[in-house]
Structure 1
Amino acid sequence: MPKALKTADAASLENLPFEEALKKLESIVDAMESGDLPLEALLSKFEEGTRLAKACQTKLADAELKIQKLEKSSSGETTLTPLSNDLSEEEQPKYE
Structure 2
Amino acid sequence: MTEDSAVEALSFEEALKELEAIVARLESGDAALDEAIALYERGDKLRRQCAARLDAAQARIEAVRLDANGQPAGTTPFNAG
**What root-mean-square deviation, in Å, do the aligned CA atoms of Structure 1 and Structure 2 show?**
1.6
TM-score, scaled to structure 2: 0.82
**Alignment pair present for 1:72 and 2:69:** no
How many residue pairs align between the two structures? 76
TM-score, scaled to structure 1: 0.71
Runs of 4+ displaced beyond 4 Å: none
Which one has a larger percent strand, Structure 1 or Structure 2?
A: 2
Number of the residue aligned with 2:45: 51
Which of 1 and 2 has higher RCO (CA within 8 Å, sep 6+)? 2
Task: Provide the rounded CA distance (Å) in 1 between the counterparts of 2:22 and 2:44.
Answer: 10
Instruction: Note the C-alpha offset of 1:10.
Output: 2.0
Unpaired runs of 5+ residues, structure 1, are 86-96
Task: Provide the rounded CA distance (Å) in 2 between the counterparts of 1:40 and 1:81.
Answer: 43
Unpaired runs of 5+ residues, structure 2, are 68-72
Instruction: Note the C-alpha offset of 1:12.
Output: 2.0
Bigger radius of gyration, 1 or 2? 2
Residue identity in the other structure for 1:66:
R
